[in-house]
Chain A
Amino acid sequence: MDKEPILWIERFSVFQRFIHLLIILSFITLAVTGMALKFAIEDWAQWIAYTSGGFAVLGALHRFCAVITFFYFFLTMILLYTKWRDSGQSIFGFLLDPEGLVPNLNDAKELIATVKWFFGGKRPYYGRWIYWEKFDFMAVFWGIAVIGGSGLALWFPVQFSKFFPGYWLNIATIIHSDEALLAAGFIFTIHFYNTHLRPEKFPLDPVIFVGSIPVSELQHERPREYDQLIETGELAKLATRRAPEAWLRRLSAVFGITIVSFGSILIVSIIVTMLKYIQHGMH
């Protein structure tokens, strides 16, 4: 077991952690209920529908979680607004901040450096946000626009067709369903691996639940951020001896591993099904 670290630093605020909790709960529910419909012909999908009380229940849960999704999108906007307000920067300055969440040229350089690292080079000089984390964050915007928009059309088809041709609903179905497959597939494989399942972190990186990481870990993983904190003298102010509460760490481990397992089971079911379809030459 790891030694108990001495100093800790907060990475995610309570508000940020709350948003991510909403994302987890709504996303996994949306994925399970939606995939049950997309793969309705499969036994596992029918089992989901049967166990949950029928497709009407799945539909209600799906729509409820869609509302949660719009809600956390709104909360994220508030979060960004307060961040921007507190930063004292102009709107462009805030968006183009080299240490911000918007991808920039340095991310391309880091991607190349990362590939070199894979093949034996030096570990890149990562900052607060690494490009794969930025991609996860941007995907929320892209995903909510595409899945949310097409989802609203499918939720209110009669109203939608007052403004657009009815057959666009067929197009919306394809976009909604395939974009959702992309989102679920991405989160349950790439995000899970990048964040939790890669051997350095396996089985779980609890920081999104407990909020803090040991300073030593920050120094190793995000050396640029660590150096910046030293330079500005922030580290001395932010570092604390208070470790996350034991109960919170236990709860995080149980909850996190459960969700990662659920997502993994679902994505394995989907992958097996897709492979079967490809083998049989259907879609």
Chain B
Amino acid sequence: MIKTVPKKLGAKAIFGFLLLAFLIPWSSAYALTNEDCIECHSDTELTTEKDGKTVSLYVDVAIYKDTVHADNGCVSCHVEADVEGDEHPFPMSPVNCSECHDTIGETYMNSAHGEAAMMKNDALAPKCKDCHTKHDILSPKDRRSTTYPMNIPFTCGRCHREGSNMTSTHELGKHNIVENYSMSIHGKGLFEDGLIVTAVCSSCHTAHNVQKATAPNSSVNRNNIISTCKQCHVGIAEKFKNSVHSATVTKTDKKLPICIDCHNAHTIARVKDKDFRLIIAEQCSNCHSHETETYFETYHGRASMLWGGERTAKCSDCHGSHDILPAQAPGSKINADNIVNTCSKCHPKANASFTTYLPHATHHNKDKYPYLFYTFWAMTGLLVGTFSFFGLHTVLWVPRSIIERIKLISKGH
């Protein structure tokens, strides 16, 4: 049996080859070769009028030879041109890529782009050629390709930027996407370091299955974000899964945070960057507002608001980030067994007594922090008392002092 299989396959292959060899020359006896097409279409001045606009019909053969379709005949896409004689029908129907790329075609048809283009007939919605070009379709690995990682932001940015035809006629929700992206850690990786494994638009939004974030099957839907980021950040996703913020650990009806709640989608910053460190408390305050407010009453919080304040302790410095656990969990950074270690990161030789410092202290809570409450009000009393006494003293003095001055002047001093 084993030996007969290749024999059978071999027989089929030979039969197929012969069939093709027989059919190809005879099926289109007058088939146009690419050279025939080029005869006219290499003319850079060959144009036509379409919707009142002059459209070039020139094809750059030099580039075409490098494209992924170099071995295809012109007529394999432009099927209507496959006619006898010199002239093909005009105008011809648009090229249908899904003749060959059927799976991608189907995915595209169900995407936000495909739906807009095909179902809603939105003239601005992108079709294959808008991202991939027509005769210049290079491999995504080719530096010149519109789908090469370093070029993708520009390809998408043709529409998704402020002032484009698209954004001036459509409300796309997010703004300054390209600018924000290029300032983000992903964008900096791409543009500053030329790191092509960094996330580009299609890494998160997919190439052909682009969906609005509200669509349940979108790669950027809240429920799918973690898996989307996990494509690259596997270790982080694993840590996060065991943290208090993960739905596998905390069962709650409340909204649990996902990657983009702390790391903004298009403005995502390097976590050690000042910009990121300065907004950590703000991010956490979306859910933990009381803890953040009281943090800002302490030295750490106050200093963090000032220039250079990124250095002082932020939420994540004490609580961790992807591995946050409740204080009573043995692995928690603020668990009694670990807290000396946690404080020691900034305060070498910290001891157990030191860790009783209240990093979320407030003098507004009489029941929880009576000593802070009474200290504050005792100090306030001292201030009010002193200023009342001397304030009154000064106020009473003012008219007398004016009179004294006038006396001095009239005496000729």
Contacts of A199 in B (CB 8 A): 398, 401-402, 404-405
> A50 on the interface (CB 8 Å rule)?
yes
Question: Which of A64-72, A80-88, A173-181 sits within the interface?
Answer: A173-181
- A182 to B388, alpha carbons, bound, how many Å? 12
Beta-carbon contact of B296 and A166 below 8 Å? no
For the complex, what is the distance from the CA of A69 to the CA of B70, rounded to whole Å?
Answer: 82
**A40 to B306, Cβ gap below 8 A?**
yes
How close is A79's CB to chain B, nearest CB, in angstroms? 26
- The answer to whether residues A190 and B404 also contact, given A162-B351, A178-B376 and a CB cut-off of 8 A, is no
Instruction: Indicate if the CB atoms of A185 and B387 lie closer than 8 Å.
Output: yes
Complex-state Cα separation, A185 to B299, whole angstroms: 21
**Are B371 and A171 in touch, CB under 8 angstroms?**
yes
Of B77-85, B154-162, B378-386, the stretch lying at the interface with chain A is B378-386
Residue from B299, B353, B380, B399 in contact with A161 in the complex, judged by beta carbons closer than 8 Å: B353
**Complex formed: what's the CA distance from A153 to B351 in Å?**
15
Q: Is the CB of A170 within 8 A of B372?
A: yes
Cβ–Cβ contact B390 & A186, under 8 A: yes
Closest chain B CB from A193 CB (angstroms): 5
Q: Is the interface of B mostly helix, strand, loop or mixed?
A: helix
**Residues in chain A near residue B357, CB distance under 8 A:** 157, 161, 166-167, 169-170
Given A174-B372, A199-B405, A200-B405, do A38 and B302 touch, yes or no (CB 8 Å)? Answer: yes
Residue A3 lies at the interface, judged by CB distance under 8 Å to chain B: yes
In the assembled complex, the CB of B276 is this many whole angstroms from the nearest CB of chain A, namely 18
| Interface: B22 (CB within 8 A) | no
Q: How many residues of A contact B (CB 8 A)?
A: 53
Given contacts A2-B413, A55-B309, A181-B383, contact A174 B375 (CB under 8 A): yes
Contact of A239 with B by CB under 8 A: no
Asked whether any CB of chain B lies closer than 8 Å to the CB of A25, the reply is no
Cβ of B308 within 8 Å of any chain A Cβ, yes or no, is yes
Q: Which residues of chain A (187-215) have a CB below 8 Å from chain B?
A: 189-190, 193-194, 198-200, 202
Q: Type the 1/0 row for A102-124, where 1 means its CB is closer than 8 Å to any CB of B.
A: 00000000000001011100010
Residues of A within 8 A of B400 (CB): 117-118
Q: B379 and A55: CB pair below 8 A?
A: no
Pick the most buried of A57, A167, A189: most chain B CB atoms within 10 A of its CB: A167
Given the complex, which residues of A lie within 8 Å of B327, measured CB to CB?
none
| Contacting residues, chain A, for B399 (C-beta < 8 A) | 118
**Closest 8 A/B residue pairs (Cβ):** A54-B308, A49-B306, A178-B379, A166-B356, A161-B354, A55-B306, A199-B405, A40-B305
Pairs across A and B, CB under 8 Å, 9 listed: A38-B302, A49-B307, A117-B400, A123-B404, A162-B353, A166-B356, A170-B369, A178-B379, A182-B382
Contact residues of A with B, CB < 8 Å? Answer: 2-3, 36-38, 40-41, 45-46, 49-50, 53-58, 115, 117-119, 123, 132, 154, 157-158, 161-162, 164-167, 169-171, 173-175, 178-179, 181-182, 185-186, 189-190, 193-194, 198-200, 202, 283
